[in-house]
Structure 1
Amino acid sequence: MSSVWAARTALYIVRWGPPAGTSVFLCSRQAHHASVPSCNSTSHQYPSSRRSAATKENQKHQRSKSATDQSIELKIAESCKNFRRFITDPGLIDSVVKCLAPYGSSRTAPIIMDCNPGPGILTQALLDAGHKVFALENNSDFLPSLERIQKNRNGQLKVVHCDFFKIDPWSEGLVQPPSMYSSTLMKTLNISEVPWAADVPLKVFLMLGHKKERILLWRQIYSLYQRLSVYRFGRVELNVFMTENQYLKLISRPGDFMKYKALSVLFQVACDIELLHKEPTSSFLTPAKFRNPSMTKSGGFPDDGLCLVRITPRRNLFSENFTTADGSTFIHMIKQLLATRKSKLIDKLDNLAPGNGKDLLKSLALPMNIVTGCIYPEEYKLLFEILSHSEEFNPSFVLDEIYEDVAVPCY
């Protein structure tokens, strides 16, 4: 418990001092050339610039053939029945490649899981930059072109018919592509489990659809706090294109009753959140059926913007006072406390630990009349650690909701 009391003292300083800001690494098209080294930097194991004339001629032939294949794939993208955004703009591709391998990273280029690459234009740029890439594509129409790229890359690319958002489905029975169990996927990709405190074993790049992004983020939270699914293999890093509104909710701070919600607290407790790049939706390609004269080419309004956000699980998330066994209870406690953000915290605490709300607030040096929407994420985690070791803690207040969620799985 000594670590809990040390953390309590530190949080007192954090609360009454200036709040720590969210880190931002902007990789804009105008500025990223000055802050990020070129793809020929010695900080990565990129292909040598000294190539024979025969090699250059072979690459020229491959690029010509690739351009033909891409034109076919772009026609497939145009005719997709489901809403998707595709990255085809050269400037955006350049920005994304540099954001995924920022200055100061390790000498070995990181492994990237490119989710739903579609035409594979970004995928090829990542390969050219020296990355090893796992391409997970849910639309079988795109697979032939991706597999042709795979044949010419000598093991640098692995293509799998899989949808990242359908990994470890809730439904029981036979699972067929693009659905897949994470254990099967990781075995196919030859990825082994590593300790939580180890370096990030995998960078996942994906785009969240604006209608389902909140649901998908909740699914990641449940898996992350319990080290399930892909997080069983280590601190998997997400690099996500999401709406600006959703990004602002993730980084919102106490007192912002419109945006500061349970998802904000849970992500800020568990992860470092960085804004890498912001791009107007007009830079993305969407299927023709989702366009109309009042909307831009991307299927969004002109002023819409998408944010590329890096979400990295923290090494110190788990400890002897907060384990994966506590994850589900903590999530549901936060959901209950933040359901009404202007409720008095002392009333909620008296439900969790009857008659002890006042003492708990004193132990954290919090005002007696403070409301749930004014508590910092770090304070919520410490509060849970204290409660979970208290004899007065009444877990049934939280467990009732857990049982309801098990009966009707949803986020």
Structure 2
Amino acid sequence: MYSMWASRMGLSVVRCAPPAGTSVLLCSRQTRSDSVPRCNGFLHQCPSSGMSTAAHKKQKLQKAKTEDSTDLKIAESCRHFRRFIVDPGLINSIVECLAPRGCSRTAPVIMECNPGPGLLTQALLDAGHKVIALESNSDFLPSLERLQRNASGQLKVVHCDFFRIDPWSEGLVQPPSMYSSILMKNVNITEVPWASDVPLKVFLMLGPKKERISLWRQIYSLYERLSVYRYGRIELNIFMTEKQYLKLVSRPGDFLKYQALTVLFQAACDIELLHKEPMATFMTPSKFRNLHTTKSGDVPCENLCLVQITPKRNLFSENFTPADGGIFVFMIKQFLARRKSKLIEKLDNLAPGNGKDLLQSLALPVDIATGCIYPEEYKLLFEIMSRSEEFNRSFVLDEICEDIEATSY
């Protein structure tokens, strides 16, 4: 158990020091069309005795292009909005971000969500990585399964939607919905201690309409160690809008951007910007193109940010367990609903008569606003309050009912 005095001193230094800049790793943007093979790598037939090597290569390339063309036509005709990764330079950048040169090939496994035509999948396999491909659209499964058969055990394809793992609705669960326990068993991912290294990297793109809901679902599961987080510190590598990224890394005092989701992610995770890419680089179904504002609400000139979110090893402790995590989430939601309100009033509601003492314990001003508190300070305040007999947990019940209704499917 860490020293409470040391924690207070550390936070005092944090409050006095200037805000640290966001850690950024911008991967180089490669544009050479020959740097990522456009053909599928599952064609390994031996050339016939009457065929030259050059003729065999030409035949193999032609067949691969035909299969790629079929998958791209499927992507073109999708009825729902999706972004597909087909640009060779972008593929190279993503591969470098997910597995930088010189990293160990033994871990972790990369889970690619909605690979579609599978061009990024092929590039990851060519780089020597083990990949789990979760595809929600069954039309893409035949080509991905052919890739799997010829990947020598490097690839596992599953008909599954990552955003529909562990549904809260009742009834029979069928693909692409799936329980995490079944998924992890099928792909041979086992539970590891929280303080262990990252066992799995998840690569995904957030839909523009449900971006915030998707992030909230991850927060609930993370703080309570449910769903995929039962298996360890699952690392998320997410393409999200630049607007959402700036909210996640905003600082206290920015009442417009500094929100509950900001506090919860910063308290629990290390957040790093890996890459920025214009939306125009991504392929979208033909029905969503050539619009000043797409049906999804996107502005074509905006950037998408590839953001790495890694849960901290020290998130949980004797003073902060997964059982506390859910209550902490709901407390932060309540506190940050009005970011200019006085923190002491919120504290007195939860620990009657102790608000002033709690603020003094962290050397915080009595009149400080809820939107001016650092994530680490919120977590420490909660740990102090949770040990008090006066701490009122009853406020959680109504919030739980509202959030289940808002985020279930």
**TM-score, normalized by length of structure 2?**
0.90
Which structure 2 residues correspond to residues 80-229 of structure 1 after superposition, within 5 A? 80-103=78-101, 105-108=103-106, 110-229=108-227
Contact 2:166 2:178 in 1 (8 A): yes
Which structure 2 residues correspond to residues 9-408 of structure 1 after superposition, within 5 A? 9-29=9-29, 63-103=61-101, 105-108=103-106, 110-294=108-292, 300-406=298-404, 408=405
Deviation per residue, 1:203-226 (Å, 9 max, x gap)? 100000111110000000000001
Separation in structure 2 between the aligned mates of residue 361 and residue 59 of structure 1, nearest angstrom: 72
Deviation at 1:154, TM superposition (A): 1.1
Contact 1:101 1:109 in 2 (8 A): no
Separation in structure 2 between the aligned mates of residue 110 and residue 285 of structure 1, nearest angstrom: 28
In the superposition, relative to structure 1, how do residues 53 and 144 fare at CA in structure 2: closer, same or farther (>3 Å)? closer
Separation in structure 1 between the aligned mates of residue 47 and residue 387 of structure 2, nearest angstrom: 69
What is the SS of the residue equivalent to 1:117? coil
What is the SS of the residue equivalent to 2:157? strand
Separation in structure 2 between the aligned mates of residue 67 and residue 352 of structure 1, nearest angstrom: 63
What is the SS of the residue equivalent to 1:65? helix
In the superposition, relative to structure 1, how do residues 215 and 371 fare at CA in structure 2: closer, same or farther (>3 Å)? same
Read off the aligned partner of 2:399 and give its amino acid letter: E
In the superposition, relative to structure 1, how do residues 61 and 233 fare at CA in structure 2: closer, same or farther (>3 Å)? farther
In the superposition, relative to structure 1, how do residues 370 and 147 fare at CA in structure 2: closer, same or farther (>3 Å)? same
In the superposition, relative to structure 1, how do residues 357 and 88 fare at CA in structure 2: closer, same or farther (>3 Å)? same
Deviation at 1:9, TM superposition (A): 1.7
Matched pairs, number:
392
**TM-score, normalized by length of structure 1?**
0.90
Contact 1:4 1:386 in 2 (8 A): no
Separation in structure 2 between the aligned mates of residue 93 and residue 308 of structure 1, nearest angstrom: 12
Residue of structure 1 in register with 2:7 after alignment: 7
In the superposition, relative to structure 1, how do residues 205 and 62 fare at CA in structure 2: closer, same or farther (>3 Å)? farther
Question: Which consecutive unaligned segments of at least 5 residues does structure 2 have?
Answer: 37-45
In the superposition, relative to structure 1, how do residues 368 and 299 fare at CA in structure 2: closer, same or farther (>3 Å)? closer
In the superposition, relative to structure 1, how do residues 404 and 81 fare at CA in structure 2: closer, same or farther (>3 Å)? closer
In the superposition, relative to structure 1, how do residues 394 and 299 fare at CA in structure 2: closer, same or farther (>3 Å)? closer
Contact 1:291 1:298 in 2 (8 A): no
Read off the aligned partner of 1:410 and give its amino acid letter: T
Read off the aligned partner of 2:302 and give its amino acid letter: D
Calculate percent identity across the aligned residue pairs. Answer: 74
Moved more, 88-97 or 101-110: 101-110
Considering only aligned residues, what root-mean-square deviation do their CA atoms show, in Å? Answer: 2.5
In the superposition, relative to structure 1, how do residues 79 and 404 fare at CA in structure 2: closer, same or farther (>3 Å)? closer
Deviation at 1:399, TM superposition (A): 3.8
Separation in structure 2 between the aligned mates of residue 297 and residue 326 of structure 1, nearest angstrom: 40
